[in-house]
Amino acid sequence: MKKIIILIIGINICISCNQKKHQTNELLDPMQVVRDSLTTELEDIYAEGLTNGFGVAIVNEKGTLYSNGFGWADKANQIAYTENTIQHIASISKTLIGVALMKAHELGKLNLDDPIDKYISFNVLNPNYPNEKITIQHLATHTSTIVDTKHYMENAWIITPNQDLSKVYENYPYQRLNPSTSEIPMENFLKEILTVEGKYYDKENGFLKDKPGEKFEYSNIGATLTALIIEKSTGIPFNEFTKKYILQPLEMKSSGWSLDEVDVTKHSRLYYDLDIPLPFYTAITYPDGMLIASSIDMAKYLTELIKGYTGNGTLLNKKNYETLFTQYLSEENFDKRNEQNPYNDEYNTGIFMGFSAKGYIGHTGGDAGVVSFMFFDKETKTGRYLIRNTNSDDEKGPGQFYDIWKKLGEYTSKLNQ
């Protein structure tokens, strides 16, 4: 009995000590109270049941203020979505093409005003202006006049081999997911799309009727062509170049451009809807959208972009960061543009870096089973990242996505003390 009483007293003392320790920690770190409050509010939004999983991060120039994951990375196997869960980030990947391009420039390998035919072995010309050279800057600012045709949407994405396809949805309606036997090298695919001899060449629809440099036309093919030019000018494959000059310096240890380069056990499933998973897939044009990363790694990257914007970046020198974040276009370069949406990343553009009319810099992304946002505020020098692993086709899905995004914005000022 005495031993039991002593044990009970000991337990009470430990509980008391732990409570005091917890209270002391809250007093020492009032931001933890704010982070806990944000977590609770995001859990409430997740409980609406409109997505399987999502990851978030909030940063400033000094580092990560908050990162977390919610829901399921693998619903069937009850694997939680955490800040360490990885999935591909869709078109936010293009911002890495921009950084890599400026690094190649910094290394003396190319100039932005160089014609693209200086670096590639095949001819790419707008058939409506065959005597006008397309430059690297045209590609990087989406003014090359190269248009993504149905042949891109129907042939770029490839289902990765050696997976069970019996319980997944392969017939995604918006971008065709092709069998692994369809994969060809990136350069060959670009030739098929862009050269007169190519089987996917479309003289009528593959190029704008405008002169190169005149009109903005968002182009995934143009972005991929830029990555090829980086390869040709540096002699290093794009995935290896970005690993050496971006991922490794920032210690983005979970990131890579294919399943072979990452820990697949940390990879989220992607979902057609709440119940039906999609197959794992990649893209022949992988630089335009297939970086695989965690919320923690993307927080490191976004922090670096803010540092670069303020003149304190580590990946590029100050001059090249200034070039990356220069706004190159004006009203005449657009048929129309949205001044109301604060996160319309096509209001203006730097070097594969989007600018909204409301002062946000970054990029959005969307693929089969992926919706992503990454922006920083150039005034407050704070940034947000959000990614989900489930389609947002119905009207409620996008609403929830924006609810999460707005909640992150609400807490950014609270955490940025």
Tell me the pLDDT band of 13, cut-offs 50, 70 and 90.
Answer: very low
d(CA 275, CA 320): 46
Residue 17, pLDDT > 60, answer no
Average pLDDT, the chain: 93
195 in helix, strand or coil?
coil
What is the pLDDT, as a whole number, of residue 27?
A: 56
Percent of all residues in the chain with a pLDDT value above 70, rounded to a whole number: 93
* CB 57 within 8 Å of CB 299: yes
Q: Which residues contact 386 (CB under 8 A, 6 or more apart)?
A: 54, 55, 56, 372, 373, 374, 401, 404, 405, 408
Spatial contact of 229 and 61, defined as CB atoms under 8 Å apart? no
Q: Which residue has the higher pLDDT, 317 or 3?
A: 317
Predicted structure pTM score: 0.93
Element (H, E) at 194: helix 186-194
User: Alpha-carbon distance 93 to 220, whole Å?
Assistant: 11
- pLDDT recorded at residue 28: 60
Q: What is the pLDDT of residue 174?
A: 85
Distance CA 286, CA 91 (A): 10
Please state, for a pLDDT cut of 90, what percent of the chain lies above it: 88
DSSP characters for 57-95? EEEETTEEEEEEEEEEEETTTTEEP-TT-EEE-GGGGHH
Q: How far apart are CA 284 and CA 288, in angstroms?
A: 10
Mean pLDDT confidence for 208-234:
98
How far lies 410's CA from each of 41, 249, 278, 404, in Å? 11, 31, 33, 10
**298-351 confidence digits (pLDDT tens):** 999 999 999 999 999 999 999 999 999 999 999 999 999 988 899 999 999 999
Q: Residue 360: in which H helix or E strand, if any?
A: strand 360-367
pLDDT of residue 370: 97
* Rounded alpha-carbon distances, angstroms, from residue 382 to 305, 379, 388, 395, 411: 10, 8, 21, 29, 11
